[in-house]
Homo-oligomer: A and B are copies of this chain.
Amino acid sequence: MKLSTKGRYGLRAVLDIALNSEEEAVALSTIAERQSISISYLEQLIAKLKKAGIVISTRGAKGGYVLSRKPEEISVGEILRALEGNLDPVDCAEIIGGESTCMASDICVTKYVWKRISDSINNAVDTLMLSELVEESNARYKGQQETKNKKETMC
């Protein structure tokens, strides 16, 4: 029941882009260095984010990544699902909303537990916007001097 590095690294990468792409697109290598993540692994994560329409890329020299929308319009849920797949605790079609493939669906009681967990997780991340993390991050930097490495976002 743990988030993988995909979700952890990937969210940090998005936040890094949000914080540093105001002037120009951020290069993969810059994010990788700033966040201490392997560049080629991060590449795969950003590919997922791009496919999900969360970031936009420009190729070639001076290229890099920017957000596709304003941080107020991107939820943490959208980001995490792009990286991790759905956040449901079990892969039960009925919980997700599909048809019952499960033989025992009529006598299955535990699925109410999974649904409850699922709903609470999704609600928690869907009501939290990227902008809130950006604000929190800026607040932390208030009073601190700018470093040449710009803003970091560990964890």
Interface residues of A (CB under 8 A from B): 1-4, 7-8, 11-12, 15, 76, 84-85, 87-92, 102-114, 116-117, 119-121, 123-125, 128, 133, 136-137, 140-141, 152-155
Q: Chain B's nearest CB lies how many Å from the CB of A123?
A: 7
Chain B residues closer than 8 Å to A84, beta-carbon distance = 1
Number of copies: 2
Known A1-B3, A2-B1; judge A136-B121 contact (CB<8 A): no
* Pair B155/A15 contact, Cβ less than 8 Å: no
* Pair B92/A155 contact, Cβ less than 8 Å: yes
Within the complex, which residue of B4, B11, B103 is in contact with A154, where a contact is CB–CB below 8 Å?
Answer: B103
**Complex A-B: 24 CB contacts under 8 Å:** A1-B4, A1-B7, A1-B121, A2-B89, A3-B89, A11-B110, A12-B110, A103-B154, A104-B154, A104-B155, A105-B155, A107-B137, A109-B133, A109-B136, A109-B137, A109-B155, A110-B133, A113-B128, A113-B133, A114-B155, A116-B128, A117-B124, A120-B121, A120-B123
* Pair A11/B113 contact, Cβ less than 8 Å: yes
